[in-house]
Amino acid sequence: MKKHSYYITLAFAVLLGAFGIDRFYTGSVVLGFLKLITGGCGGVWWVIDVVLLVMGDYKDGDGKHVEGNGKDDKIEKRLGFALRIK
C-alpha cells in the first residue's frame, strides 16, 4: 500500500483532473478511466474532486484518505489552499 502525497494529488486534480490523472495516481484506475472517457463529466467531476481534496474527504484506490490533508497548514496557506471548511 503506497501513500499518496496530498499536494501532488491536488496538483494533478487541478491541472489534469479532467483527464483522470489524479485518480490514476491514487490507484483508482476504474474511476480514472471513467473520468478520462467522459472528460470529467464536463468539468463537474473535476470540481467535485478538487473540493473533496481541499475538505480532506478524498480517498485513494484502497479507500483510505490521501495523506497530508491539513497536517501542514503553513504550506497550505503559502499555496493558497487555506479555504478548508471544518
- For 40-82, the pLDDT digits (tens) are 888 898 889 888 888 888 888 888 888 665 555 555 555 555 5
Of 34, 68, 3, 57, nearest to 49 by C-alpha is: 57
Could you tell me the sign of the dihedral formed by the alpha carbons of 14, 68, 27, 54, in that order? negative
pLDDT at res. 19: 92
Q: pTM to 2 decimals? A: 0.73
Mean pLDDT to the nearest integer, 16-22: 91
pLDDT at res. 67: 67
**Rounded percentage of the chain residues whose pLDDT exceeds 70:** 76
pLDDT at res. 86: 45
